[in-house]
Structures are given as structure tokens and as C-alpha cells.
């Protein structure tokens, strides 16, 4: 196993937990003493730093939500002055005010270290050419990956998003061995390359994908890997925690969360109690070392489960399983909970189905109707109406079985659904328009 920092990455769990406790304790003291926002929060919760006597006492601390950042717009809850900041990132979100994240130099270094470990664990290093096709700018994807890739001594090709044909030419000419972008953008790139008569699998050096910023399924991973001839790794992060920070290792069995940086809890969003390892719940993270915008028990809203079994790679840091959706992504269709990732999971198991789909939900009378628009593979398209009807029925049947709700399926022409350069939008919920 090649590690960026074996001393930390292979540290026995008990030692890691001791380190987490020390970091938590000093974070809580610092915030209680110097930050009016955290001080008031802890007082409201009737908790004092002296009450944090062991790691599990983290549960005594108050939660934080995205609305705390919105209410504190732009920098009311920062714990560093503007002079100490070296960067801002801003996330627009779909509702309400944007959220602003400020970084001190140490915050940037911590973020970069986290990614250096992560990219090394995906097998990247000196000699690799990493094409960063996440957006550069206010979004954290581009600059985050850029700094991480430079730190491990790789060569960065900072293409950002868009201008896809040129990206593919550069990929060939400069020999990109890895690409970092959303899974949706990589799918789009693969299609554009084919239209240009280029096979990414056979005519480029691309071997690794660092894909994330949106939910994607195991079925989608398999398709991307087979089609493009790469190993595709899941990368996770949110702007509030810094940006992209954590990836899978070569085992591709969950995302390692560096314990010396983040303390992870998975809770039941309704009872707010911790769930057992392996059980799904809401990801809640305390960042143990951030200076400008510390986050304590931040309710990210993503649904996942914890895997604390030893990873064959030898890293001792726990893993979270693939994010299956967000607490607020859940569609309730005729009283049944449906996550877009369940639809993707069902569709990816059907060989005739292509890579792209869209879910449209609307209310007809008193009832919710779900329509799933599906692109077929080019080879599966047939002039015979009976063949098409049979495929449609097969898809409807599969969706009904796995979602427990009826969905109407509309087969649409290959290439007709929208393609995305950043995060994709797979759901149109007309009930909320
Ligand atoms: O998306 C940071 C990022 C950039 C992550 C590049 C990975 C790669 P935000 O725009 O703040 O930050 O969005 C964070 O995106 O709470 C999840 O809902 C979703 N998300 C991010 N990565 C994944 C993933 C960036 N691997 C929100 N799987 C998070 C599923 C993901 N969802």
C-alpha cells in the first residue's frame, strides 16, 4: 500500500480516537471562549466544555445546519478576521441566500493534505497528468482538486468545465492519465469523444476517474469503467467542510474519512440518535481542525452508513458507504419514499437502457404521477414497435418491483435528454414549482 502519510493513515484506531478527543476538546474550549455564536449555542444546549470528558460526549454538543451559515451570511460566524483569510468559496444552492466559506492558510493546507492522501490512495502520484474538469471559481471542486494534485507531484491540466471537444483533444495531446469531474460530465465527454471518432478507452491514456459532487450508483460505476476503460473512484465533500476531501482507496469499498480531520457520526434524522454501524442515517460531521469556519456536528443532509470494519488496504480510518441521496432529495410518491438513486440502480441493471434518464413528478387530481424518461442504448433501438413495447414493459416492471410504486416509462431518443457539465439535475418535481 502506498500512503501519503503512513504515520497517520495506518495509526491504530485507539490512538486515532485519543487524537480526536484531544482535538475536539481544544476546539470546543476555543469556540466557547472566543466565538459568540458557538458560545450561545452551547449555553442554549446547557453544555460546557468541561462536560466533554470522552469522545462520545460529542453527542452533548448542539447540531449545526446549513441555515446557520445562511443566517450568518456572509461571515458573521467566522472565527478568523478578514486579514487572516486567504480565500473565499461561495455556494449558491437552490434556495435562499448563498453560503460563504472562508479559509486561512492553515485551512487550505489541511484541505490540500486531505486530498493528497485521498489521491494517493487512488493510486495517483508523480508522473500522472490529472485533468481537473470540475468548475474553477466559487465552486470548490476545481481549485480543491488542483491543489491536491499539485501536492502529490502530479501534473495538473486545469481545463475546468465546458469546451468539451477541446478537453478531449488536450486529453489526447497531453496524455491525461486521470480525470476529476462529475460522473455526468464524464458520460457527456465519452459521448462527445465518440462523435469525434475517438475512443477514450483505446485512444487516450486515461486510466483513473475521480468522480463525485453528485450521487451515482455502483451500476453507473461499472458502466463507466467498462465503457471508458478506467477505474472510477468516488470522491466526497461539501463546501461547508472545505470542499472535496475524501475518496475511496484502491479497494473501491467505501470512502475513507480521515479521523484526524473529521469526526463522523451517522444519526437517525428524526430521533437525532446515532444509528449502528452499517445502518443508514444522516451524515453528521465535526471538522476538528478548521480555523476560519469550524463546523461542529454539521448535519450535511446526505444519507449513508458507516463501515468500521478493517479495510484490506490497511488504512485504519473508517469508511462511509456510497451516498444514496439526501434527506431532502426523497420524493414521496403516493405516500411511498423514492430516492432518485433507487431509480438509477434499477435502470442500470437493464442492458438495453443507456446512461441517461430523467424523473418527472406531477400531481394529477389528488394523486402523484411519476414519469421516468429513459434513453435506450443505440444498439437496442429497433424499428419494430413490438420490440420497443417489450423493453418499455420490462423497465416499468423492474421499477415497480424495486420502488413499490407505479412509474410510467417514456422511451426517448438517444441524446435527447439534457447533458450536464457540472452537477446533473435528474428530477423535475412539478409539484414544487
Ligand atoms: O460538491 C464538493 C465536491 C466537489 C465534492 C468535487 C466532490 C467533488 P457542494 O457543492 O457544497 O460541494 O455540494 C455538496 O454534494 O452534500 C452531497 O449531497 C453531494 N455530493 C458531493 N459528493 C458526492 C458523492 C461539492 N460522491 C453536496 N456522492 C453533498 C453523492 C455527493 N453526493
Return phi, psi of residue 110, to 5°.
-65, -45
Q: What is the Cα–Cα distance from 296 to 249, expressed in whole angstroms?
A: 26
**Residue ranges making up the domain that contains 355:** 330-432
State how far the alpha carbon of 288 is from the alpha carbons of 28, 69, 241, 312, 355, in Å.
9, 18, 10, 26, 39
DSSP 334-348: TTEEE-HHHHHHHHH
- The count of domains in the chain is 2
Q: Where are the alpha helices (DSSP H) in 299-414?
A: 340-348, 385-403
301 and 340 fall within a common domain: no
Quick one: which atom of ligand 1 is closest to the CA of 215?
30
Mean pLDDT within 39-58: 98
Query: Does residue 384 have a pLDDT over 90?
Result: no
pLDDT at 432: 73
Q: Would residue 347 be called left, alpha or beta, if left means φ above 0 and alpha means ψ between -120 and 50 degrees?
A: alpha
220: its cell numbers:
453507473
Question: Cβ(243) to ligand 1 under 6 A?
Answer: yes
Mean pLDDT within 227-247: 97
Mean pLDDT within 159-169: 97
98 and 133 fall within a common domain: yes
pLDDT digits (tens, 9 = 90+) for 292-334: 999 999 999 999 999 989 999 999 999 999 999 999 888 999 8
417: its cell numbers:
435528454
- Provide, rounded to the nearest whole percent, the portion of the chain with pLDDT above 70: 99
Least confident piece of the model among 114-128, 284-298, 419-433: 419-433
Q: Reduce the DSSP state of residue 152 to 3 states and report it.
A: coil
Mean pLDDT within 217-228: 97
133: its cell numbers:
474538469
358 and 216 fall within a common domain: no
Average pLDDT of the chain?
95
Query: Does residue 49 have a pLDDT over 70?
Result: yes
State how far the alpha carbon of 207 is from the alpha carbons of 148, 155, 227, 292, 383, in Å.
18, 15, 12, 37, 37
How many Cβ atoms are within 10 Å of 410's Cβ, its own excluded? 12
* Cα 236 to middle of ligand 1, angstroms: 5
How many Cβ atoms are within 10 Å of 162's Cβ, its own excluded? 12
* 235 neighbors 292 (Cβ within 8 angstroms): no
pLDDT at 380: 81
Question: Cβ(354) to ligand 1 under 6 A?
Answer: no
pLDDT digits (tens, 9 = 90+) for 61-85: 999 999 999 999 999 999 999 999 9
Ligand 1: which residue has its CA nearest to atom 9? 238
Domain boundary among 284, 299, 327: 327
* 28 neighbors 55 (Cβ within 8 angstroms): no
198 and 335 fall within a common domain: no
- Provide, rounded to the nearest whole percent, the portion of the chain with pLDDT above 90: 92
State how far the alpha carbon of 358 is from the alpha carbons of 142, 216, 396, 421, in Å.
27, 14, 14, 16
Least confident piece of the model among 65-69, 206-210, 381-385: 381-385
- Which one of 237, 252, 328, 425 would you pick to mutate in the ligand 1 pocket, going by the greatest count of ligand atoms within 8 A of its CB? 237
* 397 neighbors 376 (Cβ within 8 angstroms): no
pLDDT at 387: 86
71 and 176 fall within a common domain: yes
How confident is residue 225, by pLDDT bands cut at 50, 70 and 90? very high
* Cα 184 to middle of ligand 1, angstroms: 13
CATH number of residue 366's parent domain: 3.30.300.30
Query: Does residue 94 have a pLDDT over 70?
Result: no
130 and 225 fall within a common domain: yes
Domain boundary among 327, 359, 382: 327
Query: Does residue 433 have a pLDDT over 80?
Result: no
Q: What is the Cα–Cα distance from 303 to 280, expressed in whole angstroms?
A: 7
309 and 338 fall within a common domain: no
pTM over the 0.75 mark: yes
H helix or E strand, kind and range, residue 107: helix 105-121
Mean pLDDT within 91-120: 92
Q: What is the Cα–Cα distance from 229 to 368, expressed in whole angstroms?
A: 41
Question: Cβ(300) to ligand 1 under 6 A?
Answer: yes
* Cα 364 to middle of ligand 1, angstroms: 33
321 and 403 fall within a common domain: no
Rg from Cα positions in the chain: 22
Query: Does residue 95 have a pLDDT over 70?
Result: no
What are the residues whose beta carbons fall under 8 Å from the beta carbon of 319, sequence distance 6 or more? 248, 253, 254, 255, 256, 257, 306, 307, 308, 311
- Exposure string over 251-268, b if 16+ CB within 10 A, otherwise e: ebbbbbbbbbbbbbbbbe
Q: What is the Cα–Cα distance from 415 to 417, expressed in whole angstroms?
A: 6
321 and 336 fall within a common domain: no
The verdict on whether omega for the bond into residue 92 sits within 30 degrees of 0, i.e. cis, is no
What are the residues whose beta carbons fall under 8 Å from the beta carbon of 174, sequence distance 6 or more? 129, 157
Mean pLDDT within 366-381: 90
- Which one of 118, 142, 236 would you pick to mutate in the ligand 1 pocket, going by the greatest count of ligand atoms within 8 A of its CB? 236
CATH number of residue 119's parent domain: 3.40.50.12780
pLDDT at 411: 95
Q: What is the Cα–Cα distance from 189 to 313, expressed in whole angstroms?
A: 31
Question: Cβ(209) to ligand 1 under 6 A?
Answer: no
Query: Does residue 396 have a pLDDT over 90?
Result: yes
Quick one: which atom of ligand 1 is closest to the CA of 240?
11
Question: Cβ(212) to ligand 1 under 6 A?
Answer: yes
Domain boundary among 295, 312, 327: 327
Quick one: which atom of ligand 1 is closest to the CA of 326?
18
248 and 115 fall within a common domain: yes
pLDDT at 369: 93
Mean pLDDT within 241-253: 98
22 and 90 fall within a common domain: yes
pLDDT at 379: 84
109: its cell numbers:
493546507
Question: Cβ(254) to ligand 1 under 6 A?
Answer: no
Quick one: which atom of ligand 1 is closest to the CA of 235?
26
Ligand 1: which residue has its CA nearest to atom 18? 302
How confident is residue 18, by pLDDT bands cut at 50, 70 and 90? very high
Ligand 1: which residue has its CA nearest to atom 15? 213
* 128 neighbors 122 (Cβ within 8 angstroms): no
Question: Cβ(249) to ligand 1 under 6 A?
Answer: no
How confident is residue 93, by pLDDT bands cut at 50, 70 and 90? low
132 and 280 fall within a common domain: yes
Q: What is the Cα–Cα distance from 237 to 247, expressed in whole angstroms?
A: 9
* Cα 367 to middle of ligand 1, angstroms: 32
Amino acid at each position: 500500500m502506498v500512503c501519503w502519510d503512513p504515520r497517520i493513515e495506518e495509526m491504530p484506531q485507539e490512538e486515532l480516537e485519543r487524537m480526536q478527543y484531544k482535538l475536539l476538546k481544544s476546539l470546543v474550549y476555543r469556540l466557547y471562549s472566543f466565538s459568540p455564536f458557538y458560545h450561545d449555542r452551547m449555553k442554549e444546549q446547557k453544555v460546557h466544555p468541561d462536560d466533554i470528558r470522552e469522545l462520545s460526549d460529542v453527542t452533548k454538543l448542539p447540531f449545526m445546519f446549513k441555515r446557520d451559515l445562511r443566517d450568518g451570511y456572509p461571515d458573521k460566524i467566522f472565527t478568523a478576521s478578514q486579514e487572516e483569510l486567504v480565500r473565499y468559496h461561495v455556494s449558491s444552492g437552490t434556495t435562499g441566500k448563498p453560503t460563504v466559506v472562508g479559509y486561512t492558510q492553515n485551512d487550505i493546507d489541511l484541505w490540500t493534505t486531505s486530498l493528497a492522501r485521498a489521491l494517493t490512495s487512488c493510486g495517483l502520484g508523480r508522473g500522472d497528468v490529472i485533468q481537473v474538469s470540475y468548475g474553477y471559481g466559487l465552486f470548490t471542486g476545481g481549485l480543491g482538486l488542483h491543489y491536491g494534485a499539485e501536492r502529490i507531484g502530479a501534473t495538473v491540466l486545469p481545463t475546468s468545465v465546458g469546451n468539451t471537444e477541446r478537453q478531449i483533444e488536450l486529453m489526447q495531446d497531453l496524455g491525461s492519465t486521470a480525470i476529476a469531474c462529475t460522473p455526468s460530465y464524464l458520460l457527456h465527454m465519452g459521448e462527445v469523444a465518440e462523435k469525434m471518432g475517438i475512443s477514450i478507452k483505446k485512444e487516450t491514456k486515461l486510466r483513473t476517474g475521480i468522480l463525485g459532487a453528485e450521487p451515482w450508483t455502483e451500476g453507473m460505476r461499472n458502466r463507466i469503467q467498462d465503457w471508458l476503460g478506467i477505474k472510477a473512484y468516488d470522491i466526497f465533500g461539501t463546501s461547508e467542510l472545505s470542499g472535496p476531501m475524501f475518496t475511496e482507496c484502491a479497494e473501491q469499498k467505501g470512502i475513507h474519512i480521515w479521523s484526524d480531520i473529521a469526526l463522523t457520526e451517522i444519526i437517525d434524522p428524526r430521533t437525532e440518535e446515532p444509528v449502528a454501524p452499517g445502518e443508514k442515517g444522516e451524515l453528521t460531521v465535526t471538522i476538528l481542525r478548521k480555523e476560519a469556519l469550524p463546523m461542529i456536528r454539521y448535519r450535511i443532509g446526505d444519507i449513508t452508513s458507516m463501515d468500521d470494519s478493517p479495510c484490506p488496504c490497511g488504512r485504519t480510518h473508517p469508511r462511509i458507504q456510497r451516498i444514496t441521496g439526501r434527506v431532502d432529495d426523497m420524493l414521496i410518491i403516493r405516500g411511498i419514499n423514492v430516492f432518485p438513486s433507487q431509480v438509477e440502480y434499477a435502470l442500470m441493471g437493464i442492458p438495453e437502457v443507456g446512461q441517461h434518464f430523467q424523473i418527472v413528478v406531477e400531481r394529477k387530481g389528488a394523486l402523484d404521477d411519476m414519469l421516468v424518461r429513459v434513453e435506450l442504448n443505440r444498439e437496442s433501438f429497433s424499428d419494430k414497435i413490438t420490440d420497443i413495447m417489450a423493453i418499455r414493459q420490462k423497465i416499468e416492471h423492474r421499477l415497480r418491483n424495486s420502488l413499490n410504486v407505479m412509474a410510467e416509462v417514456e422511451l426517448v431518443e438517444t441524446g435527447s435528454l439534457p447533458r450536464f457539465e457540472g452537477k446533473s439535475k435528474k428530477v423535475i418535481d412539478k409539484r414544487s414549482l
